[in-house]
Structure 1
Amino acid sequence: MAKHGRRTHERVQTQPAVFHPSNTVPMLGHVMVGPSIPSAPIPASPTSSINTVEATSYHQSHSQTLTFGGQGTRPGKFQFPSSVTVSDQGEIIVADRWNKRIQVFTLQGTFVHQFPTVVPGGGQAMEPSDVAIDGQGNLWVVGEAEQAEFAVQYTKQGRAVTKIDLQKTGKVRGVAVDSRRNHILMTQTTGDWDNLHGEVMVFRPDGTLVRIVGKKNALASLVLRQQRMKHPWYITVDGEGNVYVSDCGNPCIHGYSGDGQFLFQFGGSGECQLQGPMGVCTDRAGNIIVVNSRNSRVEMFDKTGRFLKHITTEMTQPCAVATATQGQLVVTDLRDHTIHVM
């Protein structure tokens, strides 16, 4: 794969797309409401170069959804925006997977800066699959380099602080931070495509392994086998320390307590059936928001997994999702390589 030239921390003078939701836009929990997982393994990233700075493109729909981005290599563009998170300061942080970088924007879609996802110690470029923020405002990014997989901690300005070496699996990972316990949680999938097994690895920031949730056990009962994760990707931790994992191989959402005890799973049938569940997050009320990728939906469940309602059904291939402190919902779209703020 050709090496990409990059500019780090480039700033773009853009005109923010300011939108003003009307008083008639309803609130679900704390999420402002506007009006698939790929069926095959993720293809190899295209070879391209990051060119000169380009202003972020955006448009504002009549349903009070702000959309910005589009496919490309220039700042403000994306190639497979695989993950998104939002800081307490309202910064949208996007893992731009095939461009091997993190990009940062305001909630109005204005480009702020970018940095390459380089692994400390060797300078390898890493394709990021997920990003999360810890209690100190640092970023944890999981991804794959040419011959290895890592979790790397960066400052928000892009300086690599430390890394955790991970097992080479060749499959995407998710990452979340339990700020109450100061733990870093990562999903891991092993095995071939006909016999996948998923786990959640729980680490301290120094790389010490605390526990493995869902560890494979040949003697496990049939009930436990039915509850097991098959191909987990995204993961989130709510305000009470509970953990939710989207399993695109099962497909369902698994819920665990903060100490790794299985609580429940949902999404297998009925109106709330999940097909290709991907991004997952929670709002301030504890509701669970899930990207139902193959159905092109973003849906809301309560903290017990009971279906509440469809948030949006108007995206082509939604992928990752995050909530902002002011109630906005931020969703990435893989087909259009865009970010939607609702």
Structure 2
Amino acid sequence: MSFKKKIIPFVFSIFIFPDIDWNFSQPSGIFVEKGRVYVADSGNSIIKVFSPSGKLVLEIEGIEEDKFECPHDVLVDSSSDIYISDTWNNRVCVFDKKGRWKKTIGGFGEGCGRFNKPHSISIDTDDSLYVVDSGNGIIQKFAKDGSFVMELGREVGLKFPSGIAIDNETIYVSDSYNNRIVKFNKEGKFIGSIDNIDNPRGIVVSSGILYIAETGGGRILKLIDKKIIPFIKNLNMPYDIAFDKEFLWITEAGKNRLLKFDIDGIFKEEWKGRGSGLSRLNLPYDISVSNDCDIYIADCGNNRILWLDQSFKPKGVWNVDAPISIFVDNRKDVYCINSIEKQIIKFDKKGNEVCRWQENLVDPKDLFVTEKGVFVVDSSKEWVFRFSNDGKFIGTICSGLKEACGIAIDSLGYIIVSDCDGIKRFSRMGILVKKMDGFSSPSGVTVDKDDNIYVVDKEDNEIIKLSFYGKILDKIKAKFSFPQSIAIDKEGCAYIVDTGNHRIVKIDFSDRVYEREPIEIEIKPTKTNFPDFVVDEIIIDEPRKGVWTKISSKIRNCGDKQVDFVSVSMYEDSKRIGLTKIIKTIPPKATEIISTIWYPEKEGICTIRVVVDQEDMIREENEDNNIGEKEVFVW
């Protein structure tokens, strides 16, 4: 069954739980201006702009299709233009206040105006731009129009400089790998350093005081009267600092959040995606949807299974250490993997533990449950483990796996496994029948009621929908961050576990329309009593056991004479498919298409043959009348 998308406008219906905007991944640079908070969300490769209350008001992802790659800093000049250091693309991009691109400065290289992994940026009172060119170990200055002015710092041996701040007379640079802050005057002359700071990164000057994000020490320092004083402690990789009139803002990359303090260092607020309440998630890893559309989430970071109704309202919580996989069967029994103890745990529908087991498991990653048992993939083993529904070991199946991490079983009993080689389909007996590749890092896999396959590619941050035969139907991106798994409900809605953003994204596929793309089959020539007749192609919509499908053959008269009363039959091995078709006349060089309906009764390989005769009466089949054949695999 092969498909292609119709070229029609379409907008997916998307629902997000929890619906918050503070999902950061290694936030780095921060800038506050006129009440707005600008954040370089490096891990998600996006710039986010928030109102003072935390409402997302603008996102900048790049220049049209030319997306950012790990942007590290952001600032706003006196004209409200937004400057972004697009680190891995080795450039600084300038946008207007509405996020429309205006110009680009730089590009990869070592010369003037070229960058190697630029990190922090700053502007002075003249709107001159300073770029911390980390890979080249220098600072570069540009005029307002983007023209190169000068470089500084080369003579002092900077090692991965990463932060910069400017007051009236002094330029401060965090020389990260030399564990110091280096000072220059406005002409770029070295005038001193502040030593013994553990991996300094972001720095800022406010009211004449220098504040330093000491990333290695996990704290914020301030310089008063040439003395370093600890200001805020117990942070996890603080990366950058910004001030507004009332508050100090910190990006805490180690915990993927923003912190807000008053000017005295008193904590006020945090903005983060993860949480422990019933309406928040912390590193969710897997999801399962029951037949009555209840939702079960393996909330790994909160050490629990979260049970929700179809409106995402909480119904219950079960404690499990770091669950990474979950499955709900037809009885609403719940099976999950405890990643700490490497165990399978089974609960009844009320949340009471029924049993748990660990036999033969080393590093279980995912499970799928049918009436025939519990099927488990273990990344350290090259096969699938099979247990009874009460945990008794039955055996192994589906050999040849490499770091398997996802498993699903379709309505026909085929076992679909994701591993580092791609997606593999096995028969009920565990025989490999198809391999689908082309994925960067497939993780979760599932199937819908039509046996379409859904694959989560966590490295490319996308969901790929495949037909039963492995043809790509859709590729969906919704600003995911390391998505891990997916589930499909009975209505055709997909639930994606967006792990890095600590949320579930629900996408409605039910209105998506596809056109069928027939399979064209290469023809094997045969000896025949009718050498002037050839079969150009055999076309089959769906060679699938127990499903009526259309089968067509294209017959061509290659000879120079008209042939009358030609009968054409198609056979599945020795069994005739449909009725014999009578063609009264086939002119020389002409082509006829013969179609019928086929009902494959067995799966596996069969031979489709096209047989002709020159009478309108059906005779015994004669192999010498076979003008073309092809082996077909029936699913």
Q: Same fold (TM over 0.5)?
A: yes
Report the equivalent of 1:279. 240
Counterparts in 2 of 1:289 and 1:123: CA distance versus 1, 3 Å? closer
Report the equivalent of 2:266. 306
Query: How far off is 1:58 after superposition?
Result: 9.5
- State the alpha-carbon separation in 2 of the partners of residues 57 and 84 from structure 1: 8
Counterparts in 2 of 1:277 and 1:149: CA distance versus 1, 3 Å? same
Report the equivalent of 2:55. 64
Map Cα deviations across residues 279-306 of structure 1 (whole Å, 9 max, x no partner): 2111023x21101122221111122322
1:210 aligned to which of 179, 187, 191: 191
Aligned identity (percent) is: 20
Counterparts in 2 of 1:123 and 1:131: CA distance versus 1, 3 Å? closer
2:202 aligned to which of 234, 241, 244: 234
SS of 2:162's equivalent in the other structure is coil
Identify which of structures 1 and 2 has the higher relative contact order when contacts are C-alpha pairs closer than 8 Å and 6+ apart: 1
Structure 2: where are the runs of 5+ without partners? Answer: 1-31, 275-281, 283-478, 483-635
1:157 aligned to which of 145, 152, 169: 145
- State the alpha-carbon separation in 1 of the partners of residues 186 and 34 from structure 2: 30
Check conservation: 1:116, 1:158, Cα contact below 8 A: no
- State the alpha-carbon separation in 2 of the partners of residues 63 and 290 from structure 1: 14
Map Cα deviations across residues 229-279 of structure 1 (whole Å, 9 max, x no partner): 2011111111x121111111111111113x6332432122xxxxx211112
The structure with the greater share of residues assigned to strand is 2
- State the alpha-carbon separation in 2 of the partners of residues 175 and 101 from structure 1: 17
Q: Tell me if 1:131 matches 2:126.
A: no
Map Cα deviations across residues 78-116 of structure 1 (whole Å, 9 max, x no partner): 111111111122111101111111111223222222111
1:104 aligned to which of 94, 113, 136: 94
- State the alpha-carbon separation in 1 of the partners of residues 122 and 265 from structure 2: 23
Task: Specify the code of the residue in structure 1 equivalent to 2:142.
Answer: Y
Map Cα deviations across residues 38-79 of structure 1 (whole Å, 9 max, x no partner): 9xxx9xxxxxxxxxxxxx999999973134233x77676211
Query: How far off is 1:33 after superposition?
Result: 7.8
Task: Specify the code of the residue in structure 2 equivalent to 1:125.
Answer: F
- Map 1:179-194; keep pairs closer than 5 Å: 180=168, 182-190=169-177
Check conservation: 1:58, 1:109, Cα contact below 8 A: no
Counterparts in 2 of 1:276 and 1:120: CA distance versus 1, 3 Å? closer
Check conservation: 1:189, 1:199, Cα contact below 8 A: yes
Report the equivalent of 2:216. 249
- State the alpha-carbon separation in 1 of the partners of residues 50 and 261 from structure 2: 27
Aligned length: 243
Report the equivalent of 1:264. 230
Structure 1: where are the runs of 5+ without partners? Answer: 1-27, 43-55, 191-196, 216-227, 269-273, 317-332, 337-342
Map Cα deviations across residues 15-39 of structure 1 (whole Å, 9 max, x no partner): xxxxxxxxxxxxx9974589x999x
Map Cα deviations across residues 113-140 of structure 1 (whole Å, 9 max, x no partner): 2111578965653321110001111001
Check conservation: 2:211, 2:222, Cα contact below 8 A: yes
Check conservation: 1:143, 1:150, Cα contact below 8 A: yes
Counterparts in 2 of 1:76 and 1:133: CA distance versus 1, 3 Å? farther
SS of 2:186's equivalent in the other structure is coil
SS of 1:201's equivalent in the other structure is strand
Check conservation: 1:76, 1:111, Cα contact below 8 A: no
Check conservation: 1:120, 1:162, Cα contact below 8 A: no
SS of 2:89's equivalent in the other structure is coil
TM-score by length of 1: 0.61
Counterparts in 2 of 1:169 and 1:204: CA distance versus 1, 3 Å? closer
User: RMSD in angstroms over aligned alpha carbons?
Assistant: 3.9
- State the alpha-carbon separation in 2 of the partners of residues 176 and 141 from structure 1: 11
- State the alpha-carbon separation in 1 of the partners of residues 250 and 49 from structure 2: 24
- State the alpha-carbon separation in 2 of the partners of residues 304 and 57 from structure 1: 28
- State the alpha-carbon separation in 1 of the partners of residues 203 and 111 from structure 2: 27
Task: Specify the code of the residue in structure 2 equivalent to 1:112.
Answer: K
